[in-house]
Chains A and B, each alone.
Chain A
Amino acid sequence: GENVEQHPSTLSVQEGDSAVIKCTYSDSASNYFPWYKQELGKRPQLIIDIRSNVGEKKDQRIAVTLNKTAKHFSLHITETQPEDSAVYFCAASRGAGSYQLTFGKGTKLSVIP
């Protein structure tokens, strides 16, 4: 089955700096890669996603890059703010056309004011 590895597990950055979280996946047929932000005790919220026919997608301070050949994708947050502090999960669809997701183990991001 699909396996998603996520690194680092924790990340601390100074406010205003950039943060990068990386994920690798095992199933070359995966074609959908979302990123979720989860605050303590709350629901995961989709912050950005990318499909396999696109190499990069950006939404204001957040960007995702995808390297299909290497089977890895990354989340980039620029100009970090304290409210960006949360746990971030990457996920990959289980093969092409599957609505099921396999999640990475999460990265706890702390933005230090």
Chain B
Amino acid sequence: GAVVSQHPSWVICKSGTSVKIECRSLDFQATTMFWYRQFPKQSLMLMATSNEGSKATYEQGVEKDKFLINHASLTLSTLTVTSAHPEDSSFYICSATGLAGVGSYEQYFGPGTRLTVT
């Protein structure tokens, strides 16, 4: 149990275009989903926290108009990188929590999406 998937696993796009990344919890209902960004050889940096049916909470310094997050159901959250630029190239990872209900802190991570903007 506790499987989180992400799609696509990698994507190459041209500068100025938008890219949508999907994160799904396959066998449990995720009360909360998180989006992280990871540059090569660096740690995971939390970008935003989203709860189903609510607006996402963005970390300081993360542009909410550039990184659009939609958490439309308990099993699906999407991250759209709008007007992507080469500096947005990174590894984007989602995680989900809620398997054991309220009070369960464990986060289950998706496999990540490698975005390259040319």
Contacts and interface: CB of A to CB of B under 8 A. Distances in A.
Interface of A: 32, 34, 36, 41-46, 49, 51, 89, 93, 99-106
B93 A44 contact: yes
A99 B43 contact: no
Contact of A105 (B42, B49, B97, B108): B42
B105 A93 contact: yes
Contact of B46 (A42, A89, A101): A101
Contacts, number: 48
Interface string B95-108: 00100000001111
B111 A103 contact: no
Contact of A43 (B32, B43, B109, B114): B109
Given A43-B93, A43-B112, A34 B106 contact: yes
A44 B44 contact: yes
B44 A99 contact: no
Of the listed residues A41, A99, A104, A105, the one surrounded by the most CB atoms of chain B closer than 10 A to its CB is A99
B34 interface: yes
B49 A100 contact: yes
